[in-house]
Amino acid sequence: MKIILLGPPGSGKGTQARFIIEKYGISGISTGDILRDEVKNKTELGLKAKEYMDAGKLVPDDLVIKMVEERLNKEGYVLDGFPRTLSQAKSLDKILDRINDRIDYVIYIDISEEEIIKRMSGRRICKDCGSVYHLLFNPPKVDGKCDLCEGELYQRDDDKEETIRKRLKVYEEDTKPLIKYYKDKGILRRVDGSKDIEEVKNTIEDIISNI
Ligand code: AP5
């Protein structure tokens, strides 16, 4: 099973990717998580990526494509946050053609800008295991601590209002064209992302059950 989760920042891609990974036992490839790890570990890639991420810009295509290519496998995966430019989508097609593979579905999580701002400003992430919470919509059992590993929860540097607006602009310009790209290929499935987490999860499971 090979799935792409597409949608604006804060639409719930990371939240739903974790459910899919757990339920179907496939790997998750989140370019945002991989880049945040590289930044945390102060690697060469992390040092390059940080300035783009903090500014709400996209990290250059060549760096991201290489990172993803190394992680693709035949068994199955969910791609979260990649591709997000037409150039990344076309590169992915070329790589898959070369290894005689294909994506089953691109699940597009559709939500309004107003809802996005609410979601991102309340988001908190576990420093140790990366689990995602929301102060109102998905709060941890103990304030400031992860339910799974008791790690400390933090707010992402790029979840400040000014950077959120920049990220939304980048999404409109660079990533939104992918909706048409995958619709034309007949593999796009839209999900109403304004529903609660459980409902979105059930709709995605219905889509996946057709593979
Ligand atoms: P990345 O980490 O991919 O960020 P993003 O796409 O902007 O997405 P987010 O992680 O912000 O949101 P999400 O959709 O995963 O939502 P979540 O589940 O957390 O990328 C960060 C940066 O890295 C980019 O800006 C760029 O610089 C760089 N980068 C990454 N990939 C790249 C690429 N391919 N090319 C170039 N650069 C790249 O949910 C949000 C909140 O809402 C949470 O608090 C959650 O609990 C809550 N929530 C989720 N679902 C619901 C629901 N249904 N109802 C209520 N609350 C909900």
Domains in the chain: boundaries: 2-117+165-208
Q: Which of 85, 108, 84, 109 is nearest to 12 (CA)?
A: 109
Query: Is 118 tagged catalytic?
Result: no
Residues of the chain with pLDDT under 50: none
Residue 82 known to bind ligand: yes
pLDDT at 160: 85
CATH class in words for 2-117+165-208: alpha beta
Cβ-based neighbours of 68, under 8 Å, separated by 6 or more: 29, 31, 79, 82, 92
Is any atom of ligand 1 closer than 6 Å to the C-beta of 137?
Answer: yes
Q: Which of 2, 18, 50, 123 is catalytic?
A: 123
pLDDT at 210: 87
Task: Give, for ligand 1, the residue of 4, 13, 18 to mutate: max count of ligand atoms closer than 8 Å to Cβ.
Answer: 13
Q: Which of 76, 75, 43, 47 is nearest to 59 (CA)?
A: 47
Is any atom of ligand 1 closer than 6 Å to the C-beta of 203?
Answer: no
Cα pseudo-dihedral 138, 136, 7, 49, rounded to 10: -90
pLDDT at 152: 97
At residue 7's C-alpha, the angle toward residues 205 and 101, to 5°, is 65
Is any atom of ligand 1 closer than 6 Å to the C-beta of 10?
Answer: yes
What phi and psi, each to the nearest 5 degrees, are found at residue 80?
A: -120, 110
The token pair that represents 202 in the structure block: 């059930």
CA distance 173 to 190: 19
Terminal C-alpha separation, the chain: 7
Q: Which of 84, 119, 189, 201 is catalytic?
A: 84
Residue 132 known to bind ligand: yes
pTM equals 0.95
pLDDT at 13: 97
Query: Is 176 tagged catalytic?
Result: no
Residue 156 known to bind ligand: yes
180: amino acid identity, one letter: K
